[in-house]
A and B are shown apart, each in its own frame.
Chain A
Amino acid sequence: DVKVTQSSRYLVKRTGEKVFLECVQDMDHENMFWYRQDPGLGLRLIYFSYDVKMKEKGDIPEGYSVSREKKERFSLILESASTNQTSMYLCASRHQSSYEQYFGPGTRLTVT
């Protein structure tokens, strides 16, 4: 079974802090994704990476950056957290020859 894990289920940070969200997959997938999920807005793509050190902006990249130094790990960075970044963050991965994405359990981030 594909396993996608995220470093924390719940996280509380203060405004202005630098926040790191980590995602690890164990199936040698080339593609990895970061989404945020908000009530009434659904899932929106922040960034994705199609291979190591490769990244592309999604629909809402402002205020975020990413890092993919190893194939299995994709990090989402909030350089200076703000209250409007309070959300559920979901990571996903897929093999580049397959359409199906596998999701992690999510990190519920609260910025106070």
Chain B
Amino acid sequence: KNEVEQSPQNLTAQEGEFITINCSYSVGISALHWLQQHPGGGIVSLFMLSSGKKKHGRLIATINIQEKHSSLHITASHPRDSAVYICAVLGGGSNYKLTFGKGTLLTVNP
């Protein structure tokens, strides 16, 4: 069983909709990464957070350490947001090793 679970696996939205992707993990962590990967592309780091909330443009990431849960929100979604979003946690006794979720494929239709 993967220690990092993402939901949903696939998400289709209409342009302009508010989107939420969830990530739950089972181990104690030092930090949590949200990553973005466009089709055929490399991986871009969106956020690294240990507590609370971070905002960058239309993207917002929150984390609840007690509940072992994080969410990535996209406001006013756009077709260029279509990508795979990956949650990864740093912890479980290691300061080096990231444990990755399987990713959420987001498709935003115009």
Residues on A facing B (Cβ under 8 Å) = 31, 33, 40-45, 48, 50, 56, 58, 90, 92, 99-106
A103 to B102, CA, bound (A): 17
12 interchain pairs, CB-CB under 8 A? A31-B96, A41-B102, A42-B2, A42-B86, A42-B101, A42-B103, A43-B98, A43-B100, A45-B97, A45-B98, A48-B97, A56-B96
Question: Bound state CA distance, A59 and B100, in angstroms?
Answer: 12
Q: Which residues of A contact B50 (CB under 8 A)?
A: 99
Residues of B within 8 A of A (CB): 2, 30-31, 33, 35, 41-45, 48, 50, 86, 88, 90, 96-98, 100-103
> 9 other contacts beyond A40-B102, A99-B48, A102-B45, with CB at 8 A cut-off?
A43-B86, A48-B97, A56-B96, A90-B43, A99-B50, A101-B45, A103-B43, A105-B41, A106-B43
Q: Which residues of B contact A105 (CB under 8 A)?
A: 41-42
Q: Is the CB of B45 within 8 A of A48?
A: no
Greatest chain A CB density within 10 A among B33, B41, B100 is at B100
B20 smallest CB distance to A (angstroms): 20
Q: Is the pair B41, A100 in contact by a Cβ cutoff of 8 Å? A: no
A103 and B97 form a contact (CB under 8 A): no
A40 to B105, CA, bound (A): 12
Cβ–Cβ contact A100 & B102, under 8 A: no
The answer to whether B103 and A99 touch across the interface, beta carbons within 8 angstroms, is: no
